[in-house]
Amino acid sequence: MTDAGPITAVRKVEVTEVGPRDGIQAEAAFVPTQRKIEFINRLIEAGVPRIEATSFVSPRAVPQLADAGEVMKGVKRSKNTVLAALVPNARGAIRAAEAEVDQIVVFMSASESHNLKNVNCTVDQSLKAFEEVAKIAHDAGIPVHGAIATSFGCPFEGSVPVENVARIARAYQDMGFVGMSFGDTTGMATPPLVRDRVRAVREAAPKLSQVLHFHNTRGIGLANVVAGLHEGVDRYEAAFGGTGGCPFVPKATGNICTEDLLYLLHEMGIETGIDIRKLIGIARDVEPVLGHPLPGQVMKAGLRLDLHPMDSVRTAVG
Ligand code: ZN
């Protein structure tokens, strides 16, 4: 917290860690199940209130997450952390319910071509299929959250009309979902688009809690978070170390980075309940497991007021 004082009305933010799912799903090297469990346990221990822990998709489509059931079985549950899992269809919902996830997340795209490419359905076919998922979840007493990918633009179609996003959100609300996230799958969000989409969905589906999910593809992920804060949005998704990228999107880069997001929020005087030092430690430990450098910046630089011994840095003029 700085002495400069708050610049938006939001005082507390719920950060969702999507690293264990979105962050690693496209990684070539299989992350051993025990390591996944260890990272999720450490996230819970660090105070993360919501984690996208895994995905009950076909193991053939996403081999990295073929161990979804084992991961859910292995983690130490806490009443302070919601463990959410992605589910593509009724079969996935049944597996997720058996694994006793705290929340089911369904996903579709706001643009027809991305939805066809990603899940092989039209927008209306996806919405229809979610009714069955919602019924399974409802019978198991599990709340459903709906993600809307390409909310801010589509790599195949370009601009996505805000009405498409609002219509899907409205359908989510009608099916009794608890919340929705605006997925910025390809990093096409900008602050004005954030403002317009948040306002349109608030009007079309006022009962849904809104979550913003940005990718840092073009370097303005955190600027979009600030735009969201100015609109009063208090839920954001991010991935440790800035991991991630959609396997079905050309040149997609990672999610915004959780430690960098926490650093921004905490410096703005906004509470998250998460221990940022523990998150930095997790990101540093994830990097060697994935075997390549991660884009996160605070994991490299440390916190702003971390002191360095004077003889540890070389000085130069300029
Ligand atoms: Zn993502």
Tens of pLDDT, residues 299-308: 999 998 888 8
Distance 247 CA to ligand 1 centre (A): 11
Tell me which residue range forms the domain holding 240: 14-312
Q: What percent of the chain has pLDDT over 70?
A: 95
Q: How many residues does the chain have?
A: 318
**How do residues 263-278 score in pLDDT, each as one tens digit?**
999 999 999 999 999 9
- Judged against a pLDDT cut of 80, whether residue 287 lies above it is answered with yes
Give the CA count within 13 Å in the CB-facing half-sphere of 4. Answer: 7
* Pairing label, strands 209-213, 179-183: parallel
Confidence of residue 61 (pLDDT cuts 50, 70, 90): confident
- pLDDT at residue 307, as a whole number: 85
Nearest 5°: the CA angle 166, 190, 213 is 65
Give, to the nearest 10 degrees, the angle between helix 258-267 and helix 276-290: 160
Confidence of residue 28 (pLDDT cuts 50, 70, 90): confident
Distance 184 CA to ligand 1 centre (A): 7
Which 3 state secondary structure label does DSSP give 317?
coil
Distance 212 CA to ligand 1 centre (A): 10
- Judged against a pLDDT cut of 80, whether residue 25 lies above it is answered with yes
Backbone dihedral region of 276: left (phi > 0), alpha (psi from -120 to 50 degrees) or beta?
Answer: alpha
- Report if residue 21 sits inside a domain: yes
Distance 76 CA to ligand 1 centre (A): 25
Active-site pick, 121, 154, 246, 257: 246
- Report if residue 4 sits inside a domain: no
Distance 307 CA to ligand 1 centre (A): 33
Structure token pair of residue 249: 């999107």
- pLDDT at residue 118, as a whole number: 87
- Report if residue 318 sits inside a domain: no
- Report if residue 1 sits inside a domain: no
Burial 202-237 (b: 16+ CB within 10 A, else e): bebbeebebbbbbbbbeebbbbbbbbbbbbebbbbb
- Report if residue 282 sits inside a domain: yes
Report how many domains make up the chain: 1
* Pairing label, strands 103-109, 14-17: unpaired
- Judged against a pLDDT cut of 90, whether residue 31 lies above it is answered with yes
**How do residues 211-248 score in pLDDT, each as one tens digit?**
999 999 999 999 999 999 999 999 999 999 999 965 55
Q: Is 257 a residue of the active site?
A: no
- Report if residue 9 sits inside a domain: no
Distance 135 CA to ligand 1 centre (A): 26
Distance 77 CA to ligand 1 centre (A): 24
What string of DSSP letters covers 128-149?
HHHHHHHHHHHHHT--EEEEEE
Structure token pair of residue 224: 């979009």
- CATH code of 284's domain: 3.20.20.70
- Rounded CA separation 228/76 (Å): 32
Distance 50 CA to ligand 1 centre (A): 15
- Report if residue 7 sits inside a domain: no
The residue assigned the tokens 């051993």 is: 32
- Report if residue 3 sits inside a domain: no
- Type of residue at 153: G
